[in-house]
C-alpha cells in the first residue's frame, strides 16, 4: 500500500484557504500553511513558539481550550511582526503528542465594539462550513492513504467530491492518452443512463474534451448553452437535466490522463471559483494516487513476470538467509538433484554438498563475508537424493545491511559434463606426461651412447677429411635431436603447470647463470656481450625466466652479425612492468614475418637455421604464465630487439 508522504500532505493542505498549523508537544509550530506567513509577516515559522504569536491576554483562555481536547471553536488574537492584532477563530485537534490547528481570520483589528452581530454570526457559520469541509477533505485524504486498488480509490475520491462540493454528482474518467479509450470510469451521487452516455460517447465533443485540449480547469454555468460544446452534447445535457459543471484535468507525469468533474442539476446552484479551486486540488491528488497505484500494478506485474521467468529457468535459482538456510528455490532443483522444493526449503545449504567439499565451501563463504565481497563464484559437488554426484557451478550474490551480512541469492547450473571432461583431460595429460618422459628417456639414453661413441671414434680413428665431415654431421644431428627432445618436454610441462609461486627475482644472477650455460657458444662465435649496470627486480619464477634469457641470447648469437654483438638491457615501464630485452646486430626480420615468430612449430628458413620451432613459443608461454608478455622490434639491416615484460617486484 502506497501512502502520501508528510511533504505531500503539507503541500496539499497549504493550497487550502484555511490557516492550518501543526504544533508539537512543546506547542511549537512544525508545519503551517502560507496564510500564516502573510498574516504574521514572518517568513519562517517552523520552530516558533505558538505562545509567542498569541496576544498575552488570550493565552490563558486559549491554553484551557487546548487542554480540553474537544475540538470546540475559540476566538483569539495573534500579533504580527509589525505589531498588528488579528482576530482568529480556530479549533485544536489532538493526535498523539501533537495538535492540529484549523483557523480562519474573523476580522481586522477590533478598535471599537461596534461590531455587526449578524456579520459575526455569518462569519461563524462560514467558518464552521469551512472547518467541516476541511475535515471532510482530511478524512478523504486519509481514506486514500489506505487504498491499495485503483477502482476503490477513485470511488473514494468521487464520493468525497460530492460531499465537499455539495454536488448532485461527481465523476472520474481515466483514458489512454494515445488511443483516447476510457480505461476507468467512476461515478458518485445521482446518475441516470443519459448522463452516463454523455461521459462515454460525447466526452470529447463537450467540456471534457476542451479541458483535455487546453489543460485548464473550468466552470460551465447552467444559465446558457456553453459554446465549447457541440449541439448534440448541449441537447444531451438538457435531457439529463445537467446544470452547472466544474471540471479539472488529472495529470500523471505532466501528461493529462483523465478528468475529474462535478455536476449539479438545473435547479441547483452554480459552482463557484472556490469550488473549482478545491476540485483542482483534488484532481492533483488524484493524479498522485493514480501514479502510485499504477506503479504498484506495474510492480506486481513485474514481480509476476519475474516469478514466471525464475520458475521456467533452466538453472537453479535460490535465496538463503544469513545462516545459510534456504528460503526459496525454483522447481529446476527437482530435475537436477531429485529433491522436491519442500524438501530443500528451510534446510542448511551445505547439507547437500558432498562431505569432502563442505569445509572448503564454508571457508570460501566465511572469507568472502569477512572481506565484504558482493559476488562469489564456486564449483563443488552436490549429492542427489539417490546419492549420485552432480557438479554445480554457482554464482552467488552476497547482501549486507548496515554493515552486517543478511543473506545470499544465487544461480547454480549443472556442470557435471564439463567437470567430467576436465577430469578426463587431466588424467590424459598425466598419462601423456608419463608417456613423454618414458619416451624421452628411451630416446635420450641410446642417443647419449651414440653421441659418446661418435665423439670417441672421431678423435681416435685415423679418418679422412670426408669421414671427419660425416662424423660432424652425425654429432650435429644427434645434438639437435637431443635439443628437440628437451624442448618438447619443456613445452609439455608448460601446458600443465599453471600455479607457480611468484617471488621477487634478482635478475643479474639469472643472467649470469644463463651466460655460464652458453659459454661454449659465446666462445665459438666470438660474441661480445654488453650488460647494463643494474637490473630492476621482477616478480616471477627464476628457472623459467632463465629459459627466456637463454633462448633470446642464443638466437642473438646464432642469427646476429659476425662477430655477434649482443646488448642486454632493462627498464621500468609506466604501467608497473619491467621490460627486459636482448638486441643483436643481425640483418633484421621482414615485417611480414615478425608476427609469426612466437607461434608454435614455426620456422622461418630465410632467418633461422633449422630447429624445432618451439623456442620462442616457449618464451611466450612462460612470460604469459608469469603475468607478462613478449615481443620484438626489428628493422632490416639494423638488427632485432627481442623483449619480455614481467610485473615489477
Residue 449: CB partners within 8 Å, gap ≥ 6?
A: none
Location of C-alpha cell 475529474: 260
Sheet of 316-321: strand order equals: 326-329, 316-321, 404-414, 389-401, 375-383
Report, as an integer, the average pLDDT of 565-578: 95
Q: Are 104 and 130 in contact (CB under 8 A)?
A: yes
Does residue 603 have a pLDDT over 70? no
pLDDT score recorded for residue 233: 83
In what helix (H) or strand (E) does residue 504 lie, and over which residues does it extend? Answer: strand 503-505
pLDDT score recorded for residue 496: 55
Give the residue from 566, 512, 545 showing the smallest Cα distance to 622.
545
Tens digit of each residue's pLDDT (9 = 90 or more) over 414-460: 888 888 888 787 777 676 666 666 666 667 777 777 777 777 877 77
In what helix (H) or strand (E) does residue 598 lie, and over which residues does it extend? Answer: none
> In this prediction, what percent of the chain has a pLDDT beyond 90?
20
Residue 362: CB partners within 8 Å, gap ≥ 6?
A: 350
Does residue 89 have a pLDDT over 80? yes
Across 70-84, 245-259, 272-286, 462-476, least confident range: 462-476
pLDDT score recorded for residue 494: 57
Q: Which three cell numbers stand for residue 154?
A: 477513485
Tell me how far apart the alpha carbons of residues 211 and 512 are, in angstroms, rounded to a whole number: 92
Strand residue runs (E) in 348-437? 375-383, 389-401, 404-414
pLDDT score recorded for residue 1: 46
Tell me how far apart the alpha carbons of residues 161 and 262 are, in angstroms, rounded to a whole number: 7
pLDDT score recorded for residue 105: 85
pLDDT bucket at 472, cuts 50 / 70 / 90: confident
Does residue 102 have a pLDDT over 90? no
pTM of the model: 0.36
Q: Are 279 and 248 in contact (CB under 8 A)?
A: yes
pLDDT score recorded for residue 336: 87
pLDDT bucket at 471, cuts 50 / 70 / 90: confident
pLDDT bucket at 3, cuts 50 / 70 / 90: low
Report, as an integer, the average pLDDT of 577-587: 95
Report, as an integer, the average pLDDT of 151-169: 83
Does residue 194 have a pLDDT over 50? no
Tell me how far apart the alpha carbons of residues 272 and 269 are, in angstroms, rounded to a whole number: 9
Over the range 526-537, which residues count as b (16 or more CB within 10 Å of their CB) and which as e? ebebeeeeebbb
CA distances from 19 to 105, 257, 344 (A): 8, 32, 61
Over the range 298-308, which residues count as b (16 or more CB within 10 Å of their CB) and which as e? eeeeeeeeeee
Does residue 110 have a pLDDT over 90? no
pLDDT score recorded for residue 612: 43
Tell me how far apart the alpha carbons of residues 68 and 506 are, in angstroms, rounded to a whole number: 90
Across 135-139, 243-247, 393-397, 587-591, least confident range: 135-139
Tens digit of each residue's pLDDT (9 = 90 or more) over 378-414: 888 999 999 999 998 888 899 999 889 999 988 888 8
Tell me how far apart the alpha carbons of residues 212 and 218 are, in angstroms, rounded to a whole number: 11
**Where is pLDDT greater, at 120 or 206?**
206
CA 489 to chain centre: 49
pLDDT score recorded for residue 293: 76
- Sign of the alpha-carbon torsion through 320, 321, 325, 329: negative
Tens digit of each residue's pLDDT (9 = 90 or more) over 614-625: 578 888 888 988
Residue 484: CB partners within 8 Å, gap ≥ 6?
A: 611, 612
pLDDT score recorded for residue 542: 86
CA 275 to chain centre: 47
Tell me how far apart the alpha carbons of residues 603 and 616 are, in angstroms, rounded to a whole number: 10
> In this prediction, what percent of the chain has a pLDDT beyond 70?
80
Residue 520, SS3 per DSSP: helix
**Where is pLDDT greater, at 100 or 505?**
505
DSSP 29: E
CA distances from 384 to 189, 225, 339, 352, 419 (A): 65, 81, 7, 8, 16
Residue 541: CB partners within 8 Å, gap ≥ 6?
A: 500, 501, 502, 503, 505, 626
User: Phi then psi for 172, rounded to 5 degrees?
Assistant: -130, 125
Report, as an integer, the average pLDDT of 65-85: 87
pLDDT score recorded for residue 566: 96
Does residue 633 have a pLDDT over 90? yes
Report, as an integer, the average pLDDT of 553-576: 93
pLDDT bucket at 6, cuts 50 / 70 / 90: low
Residue 292: CB partners within 8 Å, gap ≥ 6?
A: 2
Tell me how far apart the alpha carbons of residues 124 and 113 are, in angstroms, rounded to a whole number: 17
**Where is pLDDT greater, at 553 or 97?**
553
Does residue 349 have a pLDDT over 50? yes
Mean pLDDT for the chain overall? 81
Asked if the bond preceding 62 is cis, omega within 30° of 0, the reply is no
Does residue 294 have a pLDDT over 80? no
Q: Are 537 and 545 in contact (CB under 8 A)?
A: no
Tens digit of each residue's pLDDT (9 = 90 or more) over 35-66: 888 889 888 888 999 999 999 888 988 888 88
Report, as an integer, the average pLDDT of 265-275: 84
Tens digit of each residue's pLDDT (9 = 90 or more) over 515-531: 987 887 898 889 999 99
Q: Are 103 and 18 in contact (CB under 8 A)?
A: yes
pLDDT bucket at 113, cuts 50 / 70 / 90: very low
Q: Which three cell numbers stand for residue 518?
A: 652458453
**Where is pLDDT greater, at 597 or 357?**
357
Tell me how far apart the alpha carbons of residues 187 and 260 are, in angstroms, rounded to a whole number: 10
Amino acid at each position: 500500500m502506497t501512502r502520501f508522504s508528510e511533504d505531500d500532505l503539507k503541500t496539499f493542505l497549504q493550497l487550502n484557504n484555511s490557516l492550518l498549523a501543526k504544533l508539537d508537544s512543546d506547542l511549537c509550530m512544525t508545519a503551517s500553511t502560507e496564510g500564516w506567513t502573510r498574516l504574521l509577516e514572518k517568513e519562517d515559522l517552523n520552530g516558533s513558539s505558538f505562545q509567542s504569536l498569541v496576544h498575552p491576554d488570550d493565552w490563558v483562555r486559549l491554553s484551557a481550550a487546548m487542554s480540553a481536547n474537544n475540538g470546540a471553536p475559540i476566538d483569539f488574537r495573534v500579533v504580527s511582526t509589525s505589531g498588528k492584532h488579528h482576530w482568529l477563530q480556530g479549533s485544536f485537534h489532538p493526535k498523539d503528542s501533537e495538535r492540529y490547528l484549523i483557523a480562519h481570520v474573523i476580522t481586522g483589528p477590533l478598535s471599537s465594539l461596534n461590531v455587526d452581530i449578524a456579520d459575526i454570526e455569518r462569519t461563524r457559520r462560514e467558518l464552521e462550513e469551512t472547518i467541516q469541509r476541511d475535515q471532510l477533505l482530511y478524512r478523504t485524504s486519509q481514506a486514500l492513504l489506505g487504498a491499495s486498488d485503483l477502482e476503490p480509490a477513485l470511488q473514494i475520491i468521487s464520493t468525497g467530491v460530492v460531499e465537499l462540493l455539495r454536488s448532485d454528482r461527481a465523476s472520474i474518467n481515466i483514458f489512454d492518452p494515445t488511443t483516447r479509450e476510457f480505461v476507468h470510469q467512476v461515478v458518485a451521487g445521482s446518475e441516470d443512463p443519459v448522463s452516463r452516455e454523455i461521459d462515454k460517447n460525447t466526452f470529447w465533443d463537450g467540456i471534457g474534451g476542451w479541458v483535455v485540449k487546453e489543460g485548464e480547469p473550468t466552470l460551465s454555468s447552467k444559465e446558457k448553452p456553453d459554446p465549447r460544446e457541440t449541439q448534440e452534447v448541449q441537447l444531451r445535457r438538457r435531457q439529463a437535466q445537467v446544470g452547472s459543471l466544474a471540471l479539472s484535468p488529472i495529470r500523471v507525469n505532466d501528461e493529462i490522463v483523465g478528468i475529474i468533474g462535478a455536476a449539479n442539476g438545473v435547479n441547483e446552484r452554480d459552482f463557484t471559483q472556490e469550488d473549482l479551486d478545491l476540485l483542482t486540488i483534488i484532481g492533483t491528488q488524484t493524479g498522485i494516487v493514480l501514479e502510485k497505484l499504477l506503479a504498484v500494478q506495474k510492480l506486481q506485474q513485474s514481480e509476476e513476470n519475474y516469478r514466471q521467468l525464475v520458475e521456467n529457468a533452466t538453472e537453479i535459482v535460490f535465496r538463503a538467509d544469513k545462516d545459510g538456510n534456504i528460503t526459496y528455490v525454483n522447481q529446476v532443483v527437482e530435475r537436477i538433484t531429485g529433491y522436491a522444493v519442500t524438501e530443500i526449503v528451510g534446510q542448511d545449504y551445505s547439507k547437500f554438498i558432498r562431505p569432502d567439499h563442505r569445509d572448503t565451501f564454508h571457508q570460501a563463504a566465511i572469507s568472502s563475508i569477512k572481506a565484504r565481497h558482493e559476488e562469489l563464484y564456486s564449483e563443488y559437488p552436490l549429492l542427489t537424493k539417490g546419492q549420485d554426484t552432480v557438479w554445480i557451478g554457482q554464482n552467488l550474490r552476497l547482501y549486507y545491511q548496515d554493515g552486517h551480512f543478511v543473506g545470499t541469492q544465487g544461480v547454480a547450473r549443472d556442470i557435471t559434463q564439463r567437470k567430467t571432461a576436465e577430469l578426463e583431460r587431466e588424467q590424459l595429460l598425466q598419462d601423456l606426461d608419463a608417456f613423454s618422459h618414458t619416451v624421452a628417456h628411451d630416446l635420450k639414453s641410446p642417443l647419449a651412447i651414440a653421441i659418446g661413441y661418435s665423439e670417441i671414434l672421431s678423435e681416435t680413428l685415423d679418418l679422412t677429411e670426408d669421414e671427419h665431415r660425416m662424423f660432424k654431421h652425425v654429432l650435429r644431428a644427434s645434438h639437435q635431436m637431443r635439443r628437440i627432445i628437451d624442448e618438447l618436454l619443456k613445452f609439455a610441462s608448460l601446458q600443465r603447470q599453471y600455479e607457480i609461486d611468484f617471488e621477487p627475482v634478482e635478475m643479474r644472477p639469472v643472467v649470469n647463470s644463463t651466460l655460464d650455460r652458453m659459454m661454449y657458444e659465446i666462445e665459438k662465435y666470438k660474441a661480445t656481450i654488453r650488460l647494463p649496470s643494474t637490473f630492476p627486480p621482477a616478480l616471477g619464477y627464476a628457472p623459467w625466466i632463465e629459459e627466456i634469457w637463454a633462448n633470446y641470447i642464443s638466437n642473438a648469437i646464432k642469427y646476429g652479425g659476425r662477430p655477434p654483438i649482443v646488448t642486454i638491457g632493462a627498464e621500468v615501464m609506466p604501467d608497473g612492468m619491467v621490460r627486459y630485452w636482448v638486441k643483436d646486430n643481425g640483418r633484421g626480420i621482414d615485417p611480414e614475418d615478425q608476427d609469426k615468430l612466437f607461434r608454435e612449430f614455426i620456422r622461418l628458413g630465410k632467418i633461422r637455421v633449422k630447429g624445432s620451432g618451439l623456442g620462442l613459443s616457449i618464451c611466450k608461454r612462460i612470460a604469459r604464465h608469469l603475468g607478462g608478455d613478449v615481443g620484438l622490434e626489428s628493422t632490416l639491416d639494423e638488427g632485432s630487439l627481442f623483449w619480455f615484460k614481467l610485473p615489477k617486484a
